[in-house]
Amino acid sequence: EAGVTQFPSHSVIEKGQTVTLRCDPISGHDNLYWYRRVMGKEIKFLLHFVKESKQDESGMPNNRFLAERTGGTYSTLKVQPAELEDSGVYFCASSQAGGTEAFFGQGTRLTVV
């Protein structure tokens, strides 16, 4: 069974540009989470989907970040326009309904120059 897949693995963009990150969770997992790690600091929660609905987006840093989960399957996280401080590694995780373990993808390393 495929794990959580994230695309791209790396992205380098200029300040002001737009970037879209994609996450394919494990099939059948209702819960999908986005996390971010900035420059060696702790991994921080961004938001949580249950199926296609945003359950909690309290960790989203500002309105330049937009997350969607079409049809309750894959999710995208768009940053528009990107700023230097958005650089970091973005992780996606998924879990079963009621599950206690979250499975993580390999992350997308975003560099804004």
Residues interacting with another protein, by CB under 8 A? 3-4, 6, 31, 33, 35, 40-45, 48, 50, 55-56, 91, 93, 95, 100-107
Euclidean distance between CA atoms 107 and 98, whole angstroms: 24
CA max distance for the chain: 40
3-state helix, strand, coil in the chain (%, to 5): 5, 50, 45
Least Å distance, CB 43 to another protein, is: 4
Pick the closer one to another protein by CB: 5 or 20: 5
Structure token pair of residue 12: 């380098």
Pick the closer one to another protein by CB: 17 or 24: 24
Pick the closer one to another protein by CB: 20 or 55: 55
